[in-house]
Structure 1
Amino acid sequence: MADDAALRRLLADIAQGKADRLAELYDLTSPKLYGLILRIQRDRAMAEDVLQDVYTRIWQAAGRYSSETGPALPWLCTIARNRAIDSVRRKVEHQGPELDNGEDWVARLIDPQDGAAEFMDRDALLACLGRLDPVHRDCVVLAYCEGHSREELARRFDRPVNTIKTWLHRSLAGLKTCLEAVS
């Protein structure tokens, strides 16, 4: 993986329309971005399509990147994450929502090689999620792992939006308290 200065230079060149620099950026960052997309999307073919869309977005948005907003890689990861979530939402709109309670959601979200996620203790998070009411846990997972809006969750759980807000707020507070207690 290239250092931040190299990624910033590539983005600046891409913003100036240098297509060959996009190929270089792709070579340096696509394994990381593809892994992130695949953890959210879970379908390899769809993840590849999303990855292509991500680099189209990067091409279009490179001029809006500013090093003052932070390092380049998290900016790229944000684009990838948002595009992957959008893809999942489109899939849900066409096929309907589905939540597999047996799935390891934490493994999908936490990359052991990702420095930003090193603070998370996977086992503690799983234990704390397990303490939540199952409906509230599903609501949290759908909101924060799948990117569902409060309105979508309200329809799914047949509850008012304010109830969903309360569930999310209380569940996150409970998770925070639980995680602080185990650390």
Structure 2
Amino acid sequence: MVVRDHDALAAFERIYRDNVGAITRFFARRCVDPQLVGDLTADTFVRAMTSFATFDAARGSASSWLFGIARHTFAAHAEQSAKGGELVRRVGGRRELDRDELAELEARIDAERPGRALLERLAELPELDREAIELVHLGGLSPKEAAVALGVPKGAMRTRLYRATARLRAVVEDDEVEAR
């Protein structure tokens, strides 16, 4: 169901404005193609708009809900790319970005270079640990919001973050030892 009610539309617009930057940065840490970052961001908000009636603020914040949708959007993109369907999807009626939009997304992608480097280091950690660190330390979600986005118990998130941070420190220390 698409958002139609005026109050719901206004609420969705607030959620969009409050979160579009964070969702764009989420994709900019994963992609270096501005068109793809724009497409994935747009896809995330289209999915959010069509499922807005199911959003329940009592279960978690709008940010955690959107990051959950963004994770699924990126997973679908990765699966489609692995199957070779990316070119067909990208050419299939997508609006090309204008120069200003491209420049803005390129700037965001450049700004996320340290985040991409961190994600590369995180690659040695289990997937859920990587995502927990990213959502909290790069995405700005609280541990409670990250737990909702990842679909894990809220009480376990702090422990997961502590362990994941310790593992990440070990990876960074190993990298530093090897560099000497």
Give the TM-score band, short-chain normalised. Answer: 0.3 to 0.5
Structure scoring higher RCO (CA < 8 A, sep ≥ 6) equals: 2
The TM-score normalised by the length of structure 2 is 0.48
The higher radius of gyration belongs to 1
